[in-house]
Structure formats: C-alpha cells, structure tokens
Amino acid sequence: MKSKVNTFTWTIGGAAGDGIMVTGAMLAKYCTRAGLWTTDYAEYPSLIRGGHNVQVVQVDEEQIFEHDQGTEILVAINEETVRLHAASLSPGGALVYDSTRLTINPAMIGDRTDIVLVPVPLMDLALKNGGKDLMRNTVALGATLALLQAPRKLMDDIFQDTFGAKGQKVVDINVATCRAGYEHVQKLVKDFPWRIVPKENDQRMVIGGNDALSLGFIHGGLKFYAAYPMTPASSILISLAELAPTYKHITKHAEDEIAAVNLAIGASFAGVRAACGTSGGGFCLMTEGLGMAAITETPLVIVDAQRPGPATGLPTWTEQGDLRFVMHAGQGEFPRVIVAPADPTQAFQEAARSLHIAEHGQLPVIILTDKYLAESHWSTPMFDLTKLRVQRGGFVTAQEHGGGPWYQRYADTVTGITPRPIPGQSGGVFIANSDEHDAVGHANEESDNRVMQYRKRERKLEAVLSFLPPRLVHYGPDDADVTFVTWGSVTQSCKEAMRKLATMGIRANVLQVLYLLPFPVAEVQQFFRAAKKTILVENNGTAQLGGVLKEYADVTCNHQLLKNDGRPFWAEDIAAFAKGHM
C-alpha cells in the first residue's frame, strides 16, 4: 500500500492551445520546491490548435524516474479528457472539471461511484479575477493544491519568481486566480486522502532533456548552433536562441538540415565549438555532412532527438529507432562517437563533453536522445559546474605552425590527431578536402596515401577513449536476480521498474550502455559474465541494441521486451515482464 503523503499522480487534459503544459510545469516546480521529486510526461498530436493534449506529473518523496499509469487527480479542461481518462483514476481519486463548460453524467465516467467529482467553474473564476481564458489553468492549479491541502504561499513565491519581470500586475492576477480555485475547493472537499507535506531538502531544478542539453552545450563552450526546426529537437534551437545574448553564441535557423550541418562544419572549421540538431528525418539530410566532417577531420556535434519513423512517422511521439542508422549513416567508413544520455543530468554532462571530444578528437560526435527525454522533465539535483569546464585543444601553436607556404594539417601522427591552425592565422595554409587528400589537403588518389589517411582517422577512436567517462552505467545492487540491459531514456523506465520490483522483494539492477560507439566490448562481456538473468528493454521493434551486443561483444540477453507504438514504456509493464520471467 502506497503512502498517501507526498506520493500521487496528477493528470491534466485539454485541447492543444489550452496551455495545459505550463500548468504541469508549475505543479512540478511547486512539488520540487516542497522538497519532493517529480517527473512529468506530455502527449500531444502534431497540431497547434485542437486535438487532445495530456500531461502527467508524478510526485514522490523518493527520486522517481517515470510516471505511473493510474492517476489520483484528473483535471479536465474539456469533455474529451473526462471520457478518455476517467477510467485511469484510482479509487478515491478526484475528477476536477470545468463546471463552466461541462456537466458530468454517469456514462461519461463509466458509471464510476468510487471517485470524487470536483466541479470548479474554472473559466468563470479566471475571468472574475482579472485573468484571460487561459488562466483557468491557474485556477485548476489552485484547486489541485487545495485538494492536496498544500500551502498556497509556496505557489505565490513561484508566481513572483516566474512573472516578477513582467510586472506586479501579472503576478497579482496569477495569485488571485490560483487563490480563487484554492478557496473554492477548500469549501467543497475536506478530506481528500492524498496530501502534500513539504520537506526540507537540497535545492533542485525541474528540467527537461532538451534544456539540460542546451545548457550543457553552453557550459561546454558552444559558440554556434544551427538547426532547422523539427520535433522533438526544436526547443534546443529555441532555448539557445533565447540565451544567445547572455552567453554570446550564435544560433542560425537554417534553410534546411543540409545547410544546418554545413554551417556548423564551417563555424567549427573557423575555430569555434559548433553543433547542429534535428530528429531522424533531418539527420537523413545531414548524413553527407557527417561524412565530410569525418574526412576533413573537423570537430562536429550532431543531436538526433529520435521520434518514430520512417519518413514523417509519428512526429510528436517517442521511439529508439535510429541507433543502427546513426551508427552507419554516411557513405564509406569513418570513425564517430555516439552517446545516448538517459536523463537531464547525463544530457547536460554529455552535451558539454561532446564538444570536448569533438574538438580534441577532431571527429563527429552524435548525441542520441528521443522525445521522451527531450520533452519530459524531472526533478534534478543542481548540475556540478566545477566539472567539465572548457579546455581547448587540437590547435597548433604559432611555433608549430611555421611560416609556410603549406602546413601539413593531415600529416600522420601517433594518435591520428594532427593539430590545426584556424584559417586566417598567419603561416602555412592547408585545404580541408572532402576528397581523399595528402598531408596538406590536396586531392590524392594514391593507394598508400589512401590507406595511411584512412588509418589515421580510424586511430583517433583509440585516442578519444581517454576523453570518455565509463561507457557503461550501472544502477542498483551488484548481486541482482535480474538485470535490465538498455540505453537512452528507457533507462529511466527500467530504473523505475527496479524500484517497483524492490517493493515485491525482487532484486533487479540496470545496465545502461551510455556510449554506443566506440562500443565498450570488454566491459559488456565482463558484466554479462556476472549477470544472472538479463532482459533487453528497447523502445523499438527490432532490438537494435540487442543486435549490437551480439555483433560487438557476442552476448545475448535471456529475454527481450520491445515496444514501438510511439509511447514510452510503463515501468509497471517492465516489472511485470521481469516477474513473469523469474
């Protein structure tokens, strides 16, 4: 039996354009400031107005990684939300609905009598208290806090911090509309079983994958970011554009993804740390540029925030379908680094690190995320800003550069990495050439030269190992009965499943492959020798990591659980699968 203090799920539903996402973000911030842990998840179709949007916020006293299927509070801005989600309410849960627009009849809620109906005239109260129609969400927030018997003052502080810059009037309207919802529900419901009791805790953030990644880029010295908007990568461009004046970098909304990758390569060649980002469809267009970064040995970071394909696929949903694609994208053979963070902290760290790896190793680095990580948010400890500070590298000193006429920028070296001058620097010149080339960059089709240059590029993969953190990440006890083997954001679902199994007395742990290339063969083999039972969990239809494990490390998991319907895993389903295979 779960505690009813500080442990609950809250769901809000409405039409696109109703502004419900902001409400969930405010509630998550409230609970995080109250010393609790949150995670949220949003589903929405590829529409701006209309269509059905839903957001879920899960709250707990312990760190949580994924939300549950059931909900204790459902806020319905429209009738569709009631029809679609009333069944997910826990017994004793509350349905908060906009009584200005809706009347609930038994058929709409599946004749349920075990839930509490909480009619709140959301629209009326918003308008009466000086707000516009979208402020009904703030009324709903007040109603929620009243149900949970949570102190309103903490929310008022958040309004002050969030809207203070927009003027006291905006703050006051938020406070007033929130209070209206709060006081209305306070009179209506007195003994709702779920409650918030604030706790003292370390300061934490509520942050999503894309924002964490953007901040990691800035911390890592990014000066140039180019992209063409594509869900779910677009908010990286938007965040970086907003922060450009503060941190003095440039964002370029390019005419297409081909331009984006070539812009980033040009900026990087000129000497700044540069990246571009997209989803799988845009990555298709970037692949020729990826190879060019490799053959010209120009540092480059590309973000692929995955969504289900092929083609336009399911634009606003999640999948891990691009692993094999990014591993092999581009004609010919060339080295690349692929990292797949699981949570905002890893997104931050690996984004910062990717710029270091790319610059020092002079090769492309791909950051593979997905919609679930990109657009969901988690309570997250403050990032450690003393780590991963910028250290430049891979550039030639004036003395090494020499007076010219040519600089041997592609001369063979022990590590394969040859220091480069930035163009414009006085001294010998060179050509960065997408043709195979000799030491100064002139096109060269000789057999020996080709083999030398190919090997020089490949050898850099060994050299970059020293820039990488452990490529496998373990969670949970060492001596587990069952191990989930996974990558990317599914790690979060597996960690949550591990927590659920622990309450059933089953010891589970999680193995996350953080770096997919260069693939950590020896580490994987060592882990598999010790593991009792392994379950591969992937958000795709063909077990792409499973294939990679077999190909590189010759290991196979005992069981596999796959899902590719555009939705993230439910931790309950993973736990049940594991239990069924014990």
Partner 1 sequence: MQRPVKNPDFNSPHYPTWCPGCGDFGIWTALKNAMAELGWQPSDVLIVYGIGCSGNMANFVRTYGFHGLHGRALPVAIGAKLANKDLKIIVIGGDGDGYGEGGNHFLHALRGNVDITYIVHDNQVYGLTKGQMAPTTERGQKTSSTPEGVIDQPLNPVALAIAAGGSFVAQGFAGDTGQLTQLIKAAVDHPGFAHLNVLQPCVTFNQHNTYSWFYDRVYNLDGTGHDFSNKQEAFARALEWGEKIPTGILYREIRDTYEQDVPEMRTESLVKERLDNIDISGTLKQYT
**Contact, 364 vs 358, CB < 8 A?**
yes
Q: Write out the binding residues for partner 1, residues 292-321 only, by CB under 8 A.
A: 292, 296
From 117-125, 261-269, 481-489, 502-510, give the range in contact with partner 1 by CB under 8 A: 261-269
Distance between CA 366 and CA 338 in Å, rounded?
A: 5
Phi, psi of 232 (to 5 degrees): -100, 30
CB of 443 to partner 1, least distance (A): 6
Longest distance between any two alpha carbons in the chain, whole Å? 86
User: 14 or 289, CB closer to partner 1?
Assistant: 289
- According to CB under 8 A, which residues from 123 to 162 bind partner 1? none
Structure tokens at 73: 């509070």
Least distance in angstroms from the C-beta of 245 to partner 1: 6
Choices 2-10, 242-250, 304-312, 550-558; region in contact with partner 1 by CB under 8 A: 242-250
Residue 64 or 531: the one with the smaller Cβ distance to partner 1 is 64
Is 390 a binding residue for partner 1 by CB under 8 A? The answer is yes
What residue has token string 């063969």? 521
461 sits near partner 1 (criterion: CB under 8 A): no
Residue 215 and residue 159: Cα distance in Å, rounded?
24
Q: Which stretch binds partner 1 (CB under 8 A): 7-15, 59-67, 220-228, 447-455?
A: 220-228
Cα–Cα distance measured from residue 437 to residue 454, given in angstroms and rounded to the nearest whole number: 10
Query: Residue 520 and residue 178: Cα distance in Å, rounded?
Result: 52
Query: Does 580 interact with partner 1 (rule: CB under 8 A)?
Result: no
- Regarding 247 and contact with partner 1 (CB under 8 A), the answer is yes
Q: Say whether residue 382 binds partner 1 (CB under 8 A).
A: yes
Stretches 121-129, 144-152, 272-280, 491-499: which one binds partner 1 (CB under 8 A)? 272-280
Candidates 284-292, 485-493, 505-513, 548-556: pick the segment binding partner 1 (CB under 8 A).
284-292
Please tell me the count of residues contacting partner 1 according to CB under 8 A: 73
Q: Which of 106, 167, 332, 405 binds partner 1 (CB under 8 A)?
A: 405
Among 103, 105, 113, 203, binds partner 1 (CB under 8 A): 203
C-alpha distance from residue 241 to each of 205, 232, 322, 390 (Å): 21, 16, 27, 21
Residue 256 lies near partner 1 (rule: CB under 8 A): yes
Q: 87, 422, 530, 582: which one contacts partner 1 (CB under 8 A)?
A: 422
Interface with partner 1 (CB under 8 A), residue from 128, 132, 328, 389: 389
Between 247 and 475, CB nearer to partner 1: 247
Residues 6+ apart with CB under 8 A from 132: 126
List CB contacts of 240: < 8 A, sequence separation 6 or more: 214, 217, 218, 222, 225, 249, 251
> Per CB under 8 A, does 406 bind partner 1?
yes
- CB nearer partner 1, residue 8 or residue 269: 269
Out of 103, 105, 246, 503, point to the residue binding partner 1 (CB under 8 A): 246
Give dist(CA 293, CA 268) in Å, integer.
10
Q: How far apart are CA 555 and CA 524, in angstroms?
A: 8
What does the block give as tokens for 226?
């180019």
- Under the binding rule (CB under 8 A), the answer on residue 258 touching partner 1 is yes
Work out whether 278 is an interface residue with partner 1 (CB under 8 A).
Answer: no
Instruction: Indicate whether 265 belongs to the interface with partner 1 (CB under 8 A).
Output: yes
Among 33, 136, 371, 563, binds partner 1 (CB under 8 A): 33
Residue 207 engages partner 1 in binding (rule: CB under 8 A): yes
What distance in Å separates the CA atoms of residue 474 and residue 283, rounded to the nearest whole number? 30
Q: Is 239 in contact with 216 (CB distance < 8 Å)?
A: no
Among the listed ranges 111-119, 285-293, 455-463, 495-503, the one in contact with partner 1 (CB under 8 A) is 285-293
Does 267 bind partner 1 (CB under 8 A)? Our answer is yes
> For the chain, what's the residue count?
582
- Calculate the CA dihedral of residues 38, 239, 226, 296 and round it to 10 degrees: -50
Output 129-132 pairs: Cβ under 8 A, ≥24 positions apart.
129/173, 129/176, 129/177, 129/179, 129/180, 130/172, 130/173, 130/176, 130/177, 131/173, 131/174, 131/176, 131/177
Instruction: Decide: is 241 part of the binding site for partner 1 (CB under 8 A).
Output: no
Residue 349 CB, nearest approach to partner 1 (Å): 13
Backbone angles phi, psi at 14, to 5 degrees: -170, -175
Q: Which span (107-115, 123-131, 268-276, 569-577) binds partner 1, by CB under 8 A? A: 268-276
Contact range with partner 1 by CB under 8 A, out of 90-98, 253-261, 451-459, 538-546: 253-261
Q: Do the strands 337-339 and 273-278 form a parallel or antiparallel pair, or are they unpaired? A: unpaired
Residue 254, interface with partner 1 (CB under 8 A)?
yes
**DSSP characters for 327-387?**
HH-SSS----EEE---SHHHHHHHHHHHHHHHHHHTSEEEEEEEHHHHH-EEEEEPP-TTS
Q: Which stretch binds partner 1 (CB under 8 A): 41-49, 96-104, 198-206, 462-470?
A: 198-206
| 426-445 residues near partner 1, rule: CB under 8 A | 426-435, 441-443
Please list every residue from 511 through 570 that binds partner 1, using CB under 8 A: none
Return left, alpha or beta for 30; rule: phi > 0 is left, psi -120 to 50 is alpha, else beta. Answer: alpha
- Is 500 a binding residue for partner 1 by CB under 8 A? The answer is no
Shorter beta-carbon distance to partner 1: residue 25 or 150? 25
Among 97-105, 237-245, 302-310, 314-322, the segment contacting partner 1 (CB under 8 A): 237-245
* 263 belongs to the binding site for partner 1 (CB under 8 A): yes
User: H helices of 40-135, where?
Assistant: 79-85, 122-128
* 397 touches partner 1 by CB under 8 A: no
